[in-house]
């Protein structure tokens, strides 16, 4: 519902890039989830910019619980976690109202909110708001991990550079969650970073594809119409700025396959029923089948580039050369990884809460 | 919410493949929408199987309004439209409970519903249920068209055969909506049908990619978090059986572009603000920018193939050779077009109703 | 959401008094609930008019499952239950569009739906639509009873005649559910019926107060803000036509009590914690405390009276004498009992499903 | 949805009595609503305790906008308004976990949240949380007033003392909103205050009945099933602590009326269609008819009394004498008036937003 995701466990995000705070409210979270500040800090760090591959705007990300936590555990009542903004340079964004940045939300926000929006730094559309998602996701995923449900994301490709494939999901997820740059292969990491630095030198930006895996989910989550697992996950993923494509399992590759190649035969591995292949990415008919969920997100190149661009002055209706001031990310895909992980955790928690009830995650 | 889509205008689908009926309930629809039965029949015909490229199961699709229509117009109260099932051969599906068809929902439905599901012909997971979506979509899209909002879908690729590109959206949409097989180029249509027939001869099936366009939408629809236009459209699209990938605008192609190539510059065309290119598929920051919405769906090959497959007998836990009885579609992508059109109409109507109020569509 | 009640288990009602059918769609119901047609028939009979104390319009109430039931059990997919209308005399209602009946919805429906509503017999606002609620409630309450959750309603007062008080909840509920006229005391039943017949002779109608009890609910249902148990129950009760007041426990009597008189002390009865008195009607802070839920509904006199009334001709804007044709209920309170029982069952089932998950009711 | 009210415009409240903050998040609010801090302060003042008729705990109620306001207007994005808690004396509440206060939520919260709740001062169940509701209501009702929609509430009766009746709704509402103690008649105000002071002297508390009126609403708000205006208003009202009864129009008095006495005849007053009497409190068939909405709430006596009470020690399972420490309200009904006004504003705004769209309130 608007700025709220979920049905049984819901997350609302609030805040503007240059307003006083950003954060999230979680409603319907189980009581009894331990707040692990080291874990939360680790997740925030994955999203935080570092070095030349990211923006120079560094926020300290000091969060505070306004409600819903007592004695180090979730209480079960609405949990409001907030980060005060700092290190904002509003002057950088003075003319966005009139000269909208290409491929940003400046123009559409103005159309939607009739000029009342806080346009500074993208306002509520800013990637800054994803800090609230990462916080909510961190609290939730720490509870999921206790149930053996693990989520990991790597950069599958970045402007032509392809990472290694997932081989052992459990180990690969563990490895990814220990690394600041989300590549499985260290050589590929260097090649990817070089692509980013090259884009930076050219005052440009690059995108790529993120690939995530979720393991440990029970069978039977999701609904046939219209809350298939793909529907629920894509819903939250497509709200992440820059994500313009989502595919599950073999995704767009299915288009060139025969049914006999695409079908995943059921087998028994001595312990449980699974499928021989996983072209369906762990989901049959919209319902989890206990195989790993695999999902890929196309992330477009950061629209804020340092290079001069031509766009429209919506006041004069004349073309205008625009040089975006402020600090830019030559790529956001490595930081978006933390947001994608958080989104997946939130969506999965909602599905689990609906199926098993409001106390499930805290038990 | 489960088997209901939407917030301000909602659609619930009900029914099982071999139960007594399938249909849809629309709640929150404006009063005063004229029921155009020719229009509805045309939309149903697009979904109906014909010839060797589809299944031999032909339903007459005679629908009845159980409620919500009076004197030929929607009343504004819940509209229940229903189709009685006929031409069902339940005997064909006797062993699905024990020997689940690969890549179908037989196994996951059994896990989810604990054996109580109507497994015959896939039950509630059957493509048969999409007839209800097409009916709801037809009623809604006839109202959208009166507002200049038009939706069209073609097969972009089918097992390697690519259709022509959209060139003039308005004309192309009109053309597609007048054709039973959704290809822009007639030569490509023949080539695609040949691929389907070849698959049929091989007792196999093929998939492909559907591409849709929506024109005439006002600026400012959608919400930043979490109800972006991409989120809302993908949510309903991913509930369509067989859809495993959704991308907007340049989608996965963004991964190889630089920001300077990807950005859509704003221009003034003498009448209104638009963008020079449309890599973002008509959506910036999750909000419509008045350019055509472009969206592509990956459709997997029909999992029901006539060829023998190996799968698991979940009772004996032994591998078993499965020959699926019943009548099969060697491809569903051309029929899925009607469902995708309907889904897009429903989702767009929900966004419009939320923004402009409950009377909007009937005015 | 509009014509849908509930969050985890939802019920949508559809239909018009003189349309083709009325019914209900239940979404989110557990698989595995046995359909007990005797039980359903008994509940329908409680709502059905009989004798001179009710309308002469008798419907056979033959229902049909359009979906969601297989082999005698709920499947867990949307359950659509429908009753075809019969015995309608539309001619009786010809001028309601222009001369709205006092205290009916004719005028407001016309304002809301702009003349597109089916005005015959009150259309979607008709008490006829409550048949769908009773059907949905019957399916659900049969499952609740298996968990020891029981609901019963009696007429507390009818135009000055007061029934006996609840004494032994379990026995009283059983007694009420075995009786067609919902009075605990048989002498009072006669007196109440006499009041109804007297009203009928005077071409008039009477109202009263219904009192319900729910026993067997676990502690901990409900939410502090804004889904208190009182909020959820009153929400559904106030949608029943004619209900204009709802109170829990001591309700409006609290206004004259001191805190020291009103407070319910906790005690231990050797088996469990309970309260000495039950002024709070089983709910503290919006949450169930395991004591019986007690709730009373004020039911206004049926607005359709046979006596001539003066009202407005909205076309001429002149006062007009109105004699309502058709068949009338001199009282609906005894029939409304079945609807109130059903509403309480639906609301309680939603609270339980949210707390314990989607399989709870069928286990 | 749990701690969120509304569908098109939603309000979530968060916070605990002795936690770091309380507040509210409004989602779906129109852009362009002017923030009037004098108006907000006036509303907060109505809720704030003063003198001997209220608790000695005085909060400064300094609020801060964390998001959703820019340049003095709502932006249309989620508005988070927060009040830091101060003046808390947690030591006063040490044993509530073990010795639950009668008629408070201490026991039920413990059952619901399994001991993880913040029990200090009632935690999330505390009346303190209503400050967030008053803030949200104030922002919304300032916008409603610009549209001519006005809300006022007085104490109809307080432990036997009855106020004057509403006579001229517009003037009476204006008068009430200018007064700190919500009585229409000043003599009755003194009598009511005396009742409160008498209760205070006796270490006891009193309740009463609040009566509200809403004028200026357009015809046609509300839905037949299940979102009648009564349903929506009662839903939010019953979440206010202490409210145990809600009635509309003649409410429980209907029980003793004949239909011919109860019916409200439609008349034409030379300007518009209205009804001669208003027994239905402005609502026919769940839909507004343009007459004033009248609603009464039964408020129970404050359960926190200074007098010693017997209750249960849930650890020893022995009866225990309880003297509630801390500062008490001998009556909350005069303060609850501000919360009821706010609740009505929120509910009405949701109905209007649904019907007229998301920009309505800010236009």
Q: What is the Cα D224 distance to its own chain's centre?
A: 25
- For residues A328 and B34, the model is more confident at B34
Give domain limits for chain D. Answer: 4-362
Which of the residues A13, A96, A116 would you substitute to probe the D interface, choosing the one with the greatest number of D C-beta atoms within 10 Å? A116
Asked whether the bond before D64 is cis by omega within 30 degrees of 0, the reply is no
Determine which of B302-311, C86-95, D54-63, D106-115 has the lowest per-residue pLDDT on average. C86-95
Eight-state DSSP code of residue C307: S
Where residue B332 falls among pLDDT bands split at 50, 70, 90? very high
Closest Cα of chain D to C245: distance in Å?
A: 4
Record: contact B354-D355, CB cut-off 8 A: no
Nearest C-alpha in C relative to A358? C355
Nearest C-alpha in B relative to D224? B77
Record: contact D2-A27, CB cut-off 8 A: yes
Closest Cα of chain C to B56: distance in Å?
A: 24
- What confidence tens digit (pLDDT) does each residue in A93-127 have? 567 778 999 999 999 999 999 999 999 989 999 99
Of A3, A248, A302, nearest to B223 by CB-CB distance is A3
Record: contact A158-B268, CB cut-off 8 A: no
Which of the residues A29, A358, A361, A362 would you substitute to probe the C interface, choosing the one with the greatest number of C C-beta atoms within 10 Å? A358
- What confidence tens digit (pLDDT) does each residue in B344-363 have? 999 999 999 999 999 999 98
Look at residue A1 in the predicted model and tell me its pLDDT.
52
Q: How many CB atoms lie within 10 A of CB C50?
A: 13
Record: contact A239-B262, CB cut-off 8 A: no
Where residue C266 falls among pLDDT bands split at 50, 70, 90? very high
Where residue C91 falls among pLDDT bands split at 50, 70, 90? low
- Look at the block and give the residue holding tokens 């709730």: C295
Of D226, D241, D250, nearest to C285 by CB-CB distance is D241
Look at residue B1 in the predicted model and tell me its pLDDT.
52
Does residue B78 have a pLDDT over 90? yes
**Structure-token pair, residue D291:** 């007459």
- Look at the block and give the residue holding tokens 């369906």: A280
Eight-state DSSP code of residue D195: H
Write out chain A's pLDDT in tens, 363 residues: 578 999 999 999 999 999 999 999 999 999 999 999 999 999 999 998 877 877 776 667 899 999 999 999 999 999 999 999 886 665 655 677 789 999 999 999 999 999 999 999 899 999 999 999 999 999 999 999 999 999 999 999 999 899 999 999 999 999 999 999 999 999 999 999 999 999 999 999 999 999 999 999 999 999 999 999 999 999 999 999 999 999 999 999 999 999 999 999 999 999 999 999 999 999 999 999 999 999 999 999 999 999 999 999 999 999 999 988 777 889 999 999 999 999 999 999 999 999 999 999 998
- What confidence tens digit (pLDDT) does each residue in B210-239 have? 999 999 999 999 999 999 999 999 999 999
- Indicate left, alpha or beta for B231 from its phi (over 0: left) and psi (-120 to 50: alpha): alpha
Look at residue C219 in the predicted model and tell me its pLDDT.
96
Determine which of B325-339, C297-311, D131-145 has the lowest per-residue pLDDT on average. B325-339
ipTM of the complex: 0.96
Record: contact A13-B225, CB cut-off 8 A: yes
Of A8, A77, A360, nearest to C8 by CB-CB distance is A8
Residues of A whose CB is below 8 A from D126: none
CA–CA distance, C128 with C327 (Å, rounded to integer): 13
Residues of C whose CB is below 8 A from B117: 31, 70, 75-77
Whether A363 contacts A356, CB under 8 Å: no
Helix (H, G, I), strand (E, B) or coil at B180: coil
Closest Cα of chain A to D111: distance in Å?
A: 11
Where residue B52 falls among pLDDT bands split at 50, 70, 90? confident
Residues of C whose CB is below 8 A from A359: 355
Find all residues with CB under 8 Å of A327, minimum gap 6, and list them. Answer: A55, A56, A57, A92
Eight-state DSSP code of residue C166: P
Residues of C whose CB is below 8 A from D305: 259-260, 263
Q: How many CB atoms lie within 10 A of CB C60?
A: 11
- What confidence tens digit (pLDDT) does each residue in B150-162 have? 999 999 999 989 9
Closest Cα of chain C to B339: distance in Å?
A: 20
Q: What is the Cα D316 distance to its own chain's centre?
A: 37
Chains in contact with chain C (at least 3 beta-carbon pairs closer than 8 A): A, B, D
CA–CA distance, C101 with C303 (Å, rounded to integer): 8
CA–CA distance, B60 with D33 (Å, rounded to integer): 54
- What confidence tens digit (pLDDT) does each residue in C186-222 have? 999 999 999 999 999 999 999 999 999 999 999 999 9
B330-339: average pLDDT: 96
Q: How many CB atoms lie within 10 A of CB A136?
A: 28
Record: contact A224-B124, CB cut-off 8 A: yes
Look at residue B87 in the predicted model and tell me its pLDDT.
63
Whether D4 contacts D12, CB under 8 Å: yes
Closest by CA to A259, choosing from B162, B304, B194, is B304
Look at residue C92 in the predicted model and tell me its pLDDT.
58
Asked whether the bond before D226 is cis by omega within 30 degrees of 0, the reply is yes
Closest by CA to B12, choosing from B32, B26, B29, B30, is B26
Look at residue D86 in the predicted model and tell me its pLDDT.
80
CA–CA distance, D105 with D304 (Å, rounded to integer): 11
- 3-state SS track over chain A: CCCEECCCCEEEEEECCCCCEEEEEEECCCCCCECCHHHHHHHHHHHCCCHHHCCCCCCCCCEEEEECEECCEECCCCEEEEEECCCCCHHHHCCCCCCCCCCCCHHHHHHHHCCCCCCHHHHHHCHHHHHHHHHHHHHHHHHHHHCCCEEEEEEEEECCEECCCCCCHHHHHHHHHCCCCCCCCHHHHHHHHHHHHHHHHCCCCECEEEEEEEECCCCCCCCCCCCCHHHHHHHHHCCCCCEEEEEECCHHHHHHCEHHHHCCCEEECCCCEEECCCCCCCEECCEECCCCEEEEEEECCCCCCCCCEEEEECCCCEEEEECCCCCCCCCCHHHHHHHHHHHHHHHHHHHHHHHHCCCHHHC
B173-200: average pLDDT: 96
Look at residue D61 in the predicted model and tell me its pLDDT.
82
Look at residue B96 in the predicted model and tell me its pLDDT.
77
Whether B300 contacts A257, CB under 8 Å: yes
CA–CA distance, D218 with A134 (Å, rounded to integer): 43
**For residue C186, what is the enclosing H or E element?**
helix C186-201
B255-269: average pLDDT: 96
Of B7, B232, B303, nearest to A263 by CB-CB distance is B303
B296-321: average pLDDT: 94
Look at residue B95 in the predicted model and tell me its pLDDT.
76
Chains in contact with chain A (at least 3 beta-carbon pairs closer than 8 A): B, C, D
- What confidence tens digit (pLDDT) does each residue in A149-201 have? 999 999 999 998 999 999 999 999 999 999 999 999 999 999 999 999 999 99
Closest Cα of chain C to D305: distance in Å?
A: 7
Nearest C-alpha in D relative to A67? D15
Where residue C55 falls among pLDDT bands split at 50, 70, 90? confident
CA–CA distance, B298 with B185 (Å, rounded to integer): 20
**Structure-token pair, residue D325:** 């420490």
Look at residue A91 in the predicted model and tell me its pLDDT.
61
- Look at the block and give the residue holding tokens 């466990």: A9
Record: contact B354-D359, CB cut-off 8 A: no
CATH number of B4-362: 3.60.150.10
Residues of B whose CB is below 8 A from C28: 1-3
Which residues does residue A27 pair with via DSSP β-bridges, in sequence order? A10
- Indicate left, alpha or beta for D78 from its phi (over 0: left) and psi (-120 to 50: alpha): beta
Record: contact D300-C257, CB cut-off 8 A: yes
Eight-state DSSP code of residue C244: E
Q: How many CB atoms lie within 10 A of CB B101?
A: 22
Closest by CA to A136, choosing from A15, A1, A282, A243, is A15
Write out chain D's pLDDT in tens, 363 residues: 578 999 999 999 999 999 999 999 999 999 999 999 999 999 999 998 877 877 776 667 899 999 999 999 999 999 999 999 886 665 655 677 789 999 999 999 999 999 999 999 899 999 999 999 999 999 999 999 999 999 999 999 999 899 999 999 999 999 999 999 999 999 999 999 999 999 999 999 999 999 999 999 999 999 999 999 999 999 999 999 999 999 999 999 999 999 999 999 999 999 999 999 999 999 999 999 999 999 999 999 999 999 999 999 999 999 999 988 777 889 999 999 999 999 999 999 999 999 999 999 998
Residues of B whose CB is below 8 A from C82: 66
Nearest C-alpha in B relative to A237? B231
């Amino acid at each position: 519902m608007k700025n709220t995701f979920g049905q049984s466990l819901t997350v609302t995000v609030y805040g503007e890039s240059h307003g006083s705070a950003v954060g999230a409210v979680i409603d319907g979270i189980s009581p009894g989830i331990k707040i692990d500040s080291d874990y939360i800090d680790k997740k925030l760090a994955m999203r935080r910019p570092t070095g030349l591959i990211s923006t120079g705007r560094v926020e300290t990300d000091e969060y505070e619980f306004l409600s819903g936590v007592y004695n180090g555990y979730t209480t079960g009542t609405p949990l409001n976690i907030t980060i005060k903004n700092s290190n904002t340079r509003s002057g950088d964004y003075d003319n966005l109202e009139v000269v909208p940045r290409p491929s940003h939300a400046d123009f559409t926000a103005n159309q939607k909110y009739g000029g009342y929006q806080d346009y500074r730094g993208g306002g509520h559309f800013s990637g800054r708001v994803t800090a609230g998602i990462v916080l909510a996701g961190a609290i939730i995923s720490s509870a999921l991990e206790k149930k053996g449900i693990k989520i990991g994301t790597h950069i599958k490709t970045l402007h032509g550079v392809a990472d290694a494939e997932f081989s052992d999901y459990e180990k690969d997820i563990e490895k990814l969650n220990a690394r600041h740059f989300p590549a499985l292969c260290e050589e590929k990491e260097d090649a990817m970073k070089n692509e980013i630095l090259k884009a930076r030198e050219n005052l440009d930006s690059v995108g790529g594809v993120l690939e995530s895996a979720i393991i440990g989910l029970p069978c039977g989550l999701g609904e046939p119409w219209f809350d298939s697992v793909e529907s629920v996950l894509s819903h939250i993923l497509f709200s992440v700025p820059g994500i313009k494509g989502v595919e599950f399992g073999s995704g767009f590759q299915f288009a060139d396959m025969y049914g006999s190649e695409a079908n995943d035969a059921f087998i028994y591995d001595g312990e449980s029923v699974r499928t021989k292949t996983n072209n369906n990415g762990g989901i049959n008919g919209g319902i989890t089948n206990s195989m790993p969920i695999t999902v890929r997100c196309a992330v477009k190149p950061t629209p804020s580039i340092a290079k001069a661009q031509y766009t429209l002055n919506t006041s004069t209706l004349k073309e205008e050369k625009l040089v975006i001031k402020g600090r830019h990310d030559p790529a956001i895909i490595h930081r978006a990884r933390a947001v994608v992980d958080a989104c997946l955790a939130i969506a999965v928690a909602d599905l689990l809460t609906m199926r098993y009830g409001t106390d499930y995650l805290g038990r």
